[in-house]
Amino acid sequence: MAIKYKKVNDPDGVFTCLRCWDDADATVATLLIPLDEANTDYANWKAWDAIDGNTTLDAD
Amino acid sequence: MTAARNLASVVSQLATQGLDRPSVNPIIINGDLTVNNYGLNNTLTGLGDSDEGYIIHDRLRHTITAGAGRYTAADLGVTDLPGFARVLHLDCTTAEASLGTNSSVFNIDYRVEANDIASLLNWSDTSNDTSAKYITVSFYMKTNKAFKFTTGFINSDHSRHIRKEFTTSTSWTRHVLTFPPDIGNSPNSDIGEGLRWRTTISGGSDFTSGTLATNWESTTSANSHTSNTPNNFFDNTDNDIKMTGLQMEIGQFTSSSIPDFQKINDTATERRRCDRYCQLLAYAQDQVIGNGNSYSDTRLVTDYCQRGSFRNTPSVIQSSASNSLRIDVNNTFDLFDNISGTQFGSVNGIGLVSDSGVSTAVGKYAYLYGGSGATRLLMNAEL
């Protein structure tokens, strides 16, 4: 299991959401996560991102 | 005396029919598992290698820390349990008789939104009288052999839990378990998780090394499950579990006094209750998703067809299979793989952005729909 998170920006460079996928398992659905504190996926990302060694990829 | 007996009988029948419930609708949404948005067009083999989340039935979560055991899960039709037509079927496909990963665990969870439960429990009352309510959970389970599993609640806002053991059998058994109030520790009245029903069907030593928390206590993993066997769903590939009829009642009940399962015979109503947490937009070719506007020749923002409000701004769950999305635009069409982002979200909707691999026409309206049999697009606002 290799969960990856990547920031997604709009054309003006504003961070609008997160993309989450599993690098090791293509059958796992891809998530697009809004920046909403009440969203469970967003809360999970914040917990994941706070762990030493986990890094969220920058937007393209 | 005859009149008194008749009156007592009527009162008893009314209670069994749940007419003294404090809420009109069942606390549990989709307790009879008739709604399975997550399972449609989904591959459900080889499960157990990570936290699976919501994968088949709406509102029912497979919460897992992986060991070596694997399983398949299905929405199954049954005819041997009067009153119920759909069940969750779990089938062990890779055994792990002795759990080698101490942290491995398999829980089936139902997370109750705090707004839906806090005022019913009245656990904020610390006078220790009868106003703080007991809570009773009931469900039907049938297994290939007798297991000793554990079930109970997590008081999420206060990080406390309580557990009980129950024993399954090879015929359908209605398990009814009552838990005392967690006095002074009321869930918050908000859109977050208020109470979590959790049944554990496999747990490594991290979850079995203590003493089962049969009274409310601070959540302690070691006190969550029991080490006496048989309690491990993964101990043999012959193992299977069928479960349905999840019910939660305010008060103390036994198997003889608990109200009947409250059926919502209007299927549309139960689907609307599920819509607050998950909406399946498309799971096959040619299923409409929404209408989009072309911001440029390579960027489309779609307003999808949302039903009512979500609990929170929703996430997008998608298959990302090749050519799973299609637009008709400017007298032509284009196939592409996935939604690439979201913008301007709220509980009332969110813009679906497609700007990777899509060819549209600036300023033109586009019609977005399923592009292949592998299409799967859900909006998710689960707890």
In this model, does residue A12 exceed pLDDT 90? yes
- Of the pLDDT bands very low, low, confident and very high (cuts 50, 70, 90), residue B263 is confident
Q: Which of B312, B315, B319 is the closest to A32 by Cβ?
A: B315
CA-CA distance, B25 to B21, in Å (whole number)?
A: 9
How does pLDDT run across B334-365, given as a tens digit for each residue? 999 999 999 999 999 999 999 999 999 999 99
* Interior angle at CA B169, CA B242 and CA B104, nearest 5: 60
Q: How far off is chain B from A52, nearest CA to CA, in Å?
A: 20
Token pair for B311: 């609990």
CATH topology for B24-275 is Jelly Rolls (2.60.120)
Q: Which of A17, A22, A28 is the closest to B342 by Cβ?
A: A17
- Of the pLDDT bands very low, low, confident and very high (cuts 50, 70, 90), residue B40 is confident
- Of the pLDDT bands very low, low, confident and very high (cuts 50, 70, 90), residue B12 is low
How does pLDDT run across B246-256, given as a tens digit for each residue? 999 999 999 99
Write b or e for each residue in B309-348: b if 16 or more Cβ atoms lie within 10 A of its Cβ, otherwise e: ebbbbbbbbbbbbeebbbbebbeeebebbbbbbbeebebe
- Supply the mean pLDDT for chain B: 93
Q: Which of A16, A25, A28 is the closest to B342 by Cβ?
A: A16
Cβ-Cβ contacts under 8 Å, A30 against chain B: 317-320, 338
In this model, does residue B7 exceed pLDDT 80? no
The reported pLDDT for the residue numbered B161 is: 98
- Of the pLDDT bands very low, low, confident and very high (cuts 50, 70, 90), residue B142 is very high
Q: How far off is chain A from B276, nearest CA to CA, in Å?
A: 13
Pick from B172, B339, B155: nearest CA to B255: B172
The reported pLDDT for the residue numbered B43 is: 74
Assembly ipTM: 0.96
B341 CB within 8 Å of a chain A CB: yes
Residues 6 or more apart whose CB falls under 8 angstroms from that of A50 comprise none
B119 compared with B1, residue with greater pLDDT: B119
B247 CB within 8 Å of a chain A CB: no
Give me the DSSP letters along A1-60: --EEEEEEE-TTS-EEEEEEEETT-TTSPEEEEES-TT-HHHHHHHHHHTSTT--PBPP-
- Phi, psi dihedral angles at B270 (to 5 degrees): -65, -35
The reported pLDDT for the residue numbered B193 is: 97
- Return the residue in B277, B315, B353, B378 with the most chain A beta carbons within 10 A, the one to mutate for interface testing: B315
Pick from B113, B110, B126, B287: nearest CA to B198: B110
The reported pLDDT for the residue numbered B25 is: 86
The residue of chain A nearest to residue B47, with distances taken between CA atoms, is A28
Q: Which residue ranges make up each domain of chain B?
A: 24-275, 278-380
- Of the pLDDT bands very low, low, confident and very high (cuts 50, 70, 90), residue B18 is low
pTM attached to this predicted model: 0.94
Contact B315 A34 (CB under 8 A): yes
B49 CB within 8 Å of a chain A CB: yes
CA-CA distance, B291 to B364, in Å (whole number)?
A: 11
Q: How far off is chain B from A9, nearest CA to CA, in Å?
A: 8
Contact B317 A29 (CB under 8 A): yes
How does pLDDT run across A18-57, given as a tens digit for each residue? 999 988 777 778 999 999 999 999 999 999 999 999 999 9
Q: How far off is chain B from A55, nearest CA to CA, in Å?
A: 20
CB atoms within 10 A of CB A43: 14
Whole-number percent of chain B with pLDDT over 70:
94
- Of the pLDDT bands very low, low, confident and very high (cuts 50, 70, 90), residue B2 is low
- Of the pLDDT bands very low, low, confident and very high (cuts 50, 70, 90), residue B285 is very high
B43 CB within 8 Å of a chain A CB: yes
Contact A34 B314 (CB under 8 A): yes
Residues 6 or more apart whose CB falls under 8 angstroms from that of B231 comprise B147, B148, B149, B150, B201, B202, B203, B208, B225
Distance of CA A16 to the CA centre of its chain: 11
Contact B342 A38 (CB under 8 A): no
Q: How far off is chain A from B168, nearest CA to CA, in Å?
A: 32
Contact B50 A1 (CB under 8 A): yes
- Phi, psi dihedral angles at B5 (to 5 degrees): -65, -40
Cis peptide before B26 (omega within 30 of 0): no
In this model, does residue A2 exceed pLDDT 90? no
In this model, does residue B1 exceed pLDDT 60? no
